[in-house]
Structure 1
Amino acid sequence: MGTFNRRTGLAAAGLAAVVAVTSLSPAAATAGCDAALDGLLERATVVDLQAAMHTRRLSSEQVTRGYLLRIERLNPRLNAVVRVNPDAVAMARRSDAQRRAHGARGPLEGIPVLLKENMNTADRQGTTAGAKALLDAKPAADAFLVARLRAAGAVILGKANQSEWSNFRGSDLPDGWSAVGGQTHNPYVLDRSPAGSSSGSAVSAAAGLAAVAIGTDTDGSVVYPAAVTSTVGIRPTLGLVSRGGVVPITGRHDTPGPIARTVTDAALTLWALQGVDPADPDTATAAGTLPGDPRTVLNRDALRGKRIGLWREGHAGVDADVDRVFDAAVRQLRDLGATVVEGADVPDIQDVANEHMLPAVLTEFKHDLNAYLAATPGTHPKNLRELIDYYDRNPDGFDHVLFDMADKTDGDLTAPAYRAHREATTSAARRAIDDVLARYRLDAIVTPTSLPAPVIGRERDSAPFAKTTTHSAAAGYPHVTVPAGYSANGLPLGLSFLGTRFTDARLIGFAYAYEQATHARRTPHYLPTTR
């Protein structure tokens, strides 16, 4: 990450990159954006932007206005941003004043960040989870993670579109579609799926509509969109980032996580998000599991001497491009000094998922959503039953079968039957990963993250890869995806690093070493189709 200024704690390594890209004229400084700045924002890292702001070559206000102009220009094609924050420029000005008077509060000082539409903000933005049923909801307080971002000096740029209700409403909604935001499009090929449910967050990061974005992951909702948009996605260990103030599916799987164009940016964001929230007991358990300084994690030699298992079963032989990119990744891991271990296939737990996980999640959804709706001020359905009635009165062409199934449960998290389902699910998922790690004495497991993005509306074509995320999600374990390459027709492919509980820092280090050796990511070209 380069040399840090001792007073501000800011990285300076990216300054040369900023200077090489742009030298702003006084007119551009007044306007807040010109062609050079726009080009910079398409590629700039958080480190680059911090270096430029620290040396007064850019201000947060200029950067924020530049991203707002990029949203205005690109979002009509992408539909990734639901709304921009009317207070964003004012926040940027306050950050600039903070920097002038006292220095930066941290590496996110003045950095514009987009939030998934399911994260509460106690301002004029609203929080709908993509559903018109919540248009009149008025959260009384910021989500805990939003408060953490504000305290770190980040600029809340706006809200990103998502799959409505985080893909937990019915059986037939396309990934990246919501009644509030419409259909989000993949920036590499516009008729291809952005995956879900953190679709707008991943697309926004990929297209440079913000420096970084925050998504949430229940079962692949960060890592899948990140993989198909050639971005870095981190699903942290459960509890590392608070779920307080986030529209829930289940507190036993849900976790917010960063999506960014580089591992460094994602790591800096994760460090800012983490913290103990008294309203989320899992955060106390996770306290102290990340080192205090992310620089200790971002090591180009992190893979040297490590044992990395290969999970091929169920993924190999499905798609020729996936096989080609994964084989190249394996060669790169060896070149980086890792001992690569074949046969580290994580066993299928689909039988457990069918028998135990779905009943557990349905019960948790009813309990957690009812609690969220009841606690949220405003005019909107106050429980799941009222929400179902709303959709029955306001049909939109899609079903709500998962709502119906959840409503048939008692929503009781103390019931013996529920607790048995949850215990069976979590135990099976943890054993599936931990046994492989122990048997082969592994530091991590790698596997392809997903197939190339299917055409929008055909997301079920990617179902064979759904098992990549289920284990980590049900176990509450970390999962990091990093850009690995592209299909023959230019669709991004990702490489996943999986590990056991609280190995987030280790996995991030591995992803960083791989990223720095490959520099696989390319900027999107917004092709209309590949057909």
Structure 2
Amino acid sequence: RMRAAGATIVEVRLPRWLIDAKGDFYSAVRYPEFASQIATYLATLSPGYPRSLAELSARADSIVAPRPDGAGPNAMRWSLFKRELGSGTLSDPRYTAVRDHALPLVRAHLDGLFATQRLDAIVYPTGSRRPDLISAPPEPPGGGAASGSNLANLSGFPELVVPAGFTTDQLPVGVSFLGPAFSEGTLLGLGFAFEQRTRARRLPRFTPPLPGEKLIVR
């Protein structure tokens, strides 16, 4: 669809070291930063609320049965609490090495790719695997190493996600447009043009408009 609309498509290949390491880079920064930042936030809450990530995790462990309506803790989220608790501090070498050396390396490589290939955006599936049905068994964290996801997180570059269609299970999928620093205007233009060309979005079947409302797909 993009080629038919006049876009010049350039096949690009990310180096294997970036594909293999981006998950490790992401977790090395994201886990200890979350532990630090959530503690700062929890300190602002009223008495009676958890004051630390450790208290949050302990409170989750105390909930052993779901509510009468079947709702209960998100098991994956609580397991991440424990992983974040054990991830170290913002002064640990694993964190500072990635922050000070690996993230600038990612930015420099992507900048070079945009410049040498004269790219307006790098386009890739937002998710590297099909979305699961609610009834599907939970999958372990991680995986999907072939996706471009996390590149925006690691580089700080802007990323725009727009609807791209549906799977055979009728679950929506998206496509990502990643651009260099301060290219938000270009990405918004590309995303809007893609949406107009594909008309991939559908109105939701199970959340119809409320009385007096009207949902319009443009």
For the aligned pair, the TM-score class normalised by the smaller chain equals 0.7 to 0.9
Task: Select which of 394, 399, 404 maps to 2:82.
Answer: 404
The CA deviation at 1:489 is: 4.4
Question: 2 CA distance for matches of 1:410 and 1:494?
Answer: 34
1:355 Cα offset (Å) = 4.6
Indicate the residue corresponding to 2:203 in structure 1.
523
- Are residue 345 (structure 1) and residue 13 (structure 2) matched? yes
1:339-488 matches, within 5 Å, as 339-342=8-11, 344-348=12-16, 349-353=18-22, 355-395=24-64, 398=75, 400-411=78-89, 413-415=90-92, 417-450=94-127, 451-456=129-134, 457-458=136-137, 460=139, 463-464=143-144, 467-488=147-168
Task: Give the CA deviation at 1:472.
Answer: 1.1
Q: Which residue of 2 aligns with 1:505?
A: 185
Aligned partner of residue 508 in structure 1, secondary structure: helix
Report the residue type matching 2:181 in the other structure.
R
Distance 1:471 1:382, change over 3 A: same
Distance 1:458 1:345, change over 3 A: farther
Amino acid at match of 1:437: F
CA contact (8 A) 1:430 1:475 kept: yes
Judged with a 3 Å threshold, the aligned counterparts in structure 2 of structure 1 residues 443 and 353 are, in CA distance, closer, same or farther, namely: closer
Tell me if structure 1 keeps the 8 A contact 2:163–2:195.
Answer: yes
Q: Return closer, same or farther for 1:471/1:380 CA change in 2, 3 Å cut-off.
A: same
Residues 407/482 of structure 1: CA separation in 2 closer, same or farther (3 Å cut): closer
Give the RMSD, CA atoms, in angstroms.
Answer: 2.9
Quote the offset at 1:356 in angstroms: 4.1
Secondary structure (helix, strand or coil) at the match of 2:58 reads: helix
1:432 shift after superposition: 4.4
Quote how far apart the aligned CAs of 1:414 are.
Answer: 4.5
Paired letter, 2:9: V
Q: Name the CA shift for 1:405/1:515 in 2 (closer, same or farther; >3 Å).
A: closer
Q: What's the CA shift for 1:339?
A: 1.4
TM-score scaled by structure 2?
0.73
- Report if the CA contact (8 A) 1:357-1:425 is conserved: no
Q: How many correspondences in the alignment?
A: 193
3-state DSSP of counterpart to 1:453:
coil
CA contact under 8 A between 1:345 and 1:436: conserved in structure 2?
no
**Cα distance in 1, alignment partners of residues 2 and 35 from structure 2:** 44
**2 CA distance for matches of 1:522 and 1:376?**
40
Contact 2:23 2:150 in 1 (8 A): no
Please show how residues 88-103 of structure 1 align to structure 2 within 5 Å: none
* Residues 1:422 and 1:459: Cα distance change in structure 2 (over 3 Å): farther
Contact 1:356–1:424 under 8 Å retained in 2: no
Paired AA for residue 99 in structure 2: R
CA distance in 2, matches of 1:378, 1:361: 28
Paired with 1:453 and 1:495, the residues of 2 have a C-alpha distance of: 13
Residues 425-464 of structure 1, C-alpha deviation per residue, up to 9 Å, x if partnerless? 4224324432322231111111222344222244639943
Q: Report which structure shows greater RCO (CA 8 Å, sep ≥6).
A: 2
Query: Do 2:19 and 2:145's aligned partners in 1 also have CA atoms closer than 8 Å?
Result: no
Partner SS for 1:418:
helix
| Displacement after TM superposition at 1:352 (Å) | 2.9
Task: Measure the CA separation in 2 of the matches of 1:468 and 1:500.
Answer: 14
1:407 partner letter: L
Q: Which amino acid aligns with 1:393?
A: S
Distance 2:183 2:46 in 1: 38
Distance 1:390 1:489 in 2: 37
Q: Structure 1: how far apart are the matches of 2:112 and 2:92?
A: 30
Structure 2 residue identity aligned to 1:440 = Q
Equivalent residue runs for 1:159-238 within 5 Å: none
Q: Percent identity?
A: 32
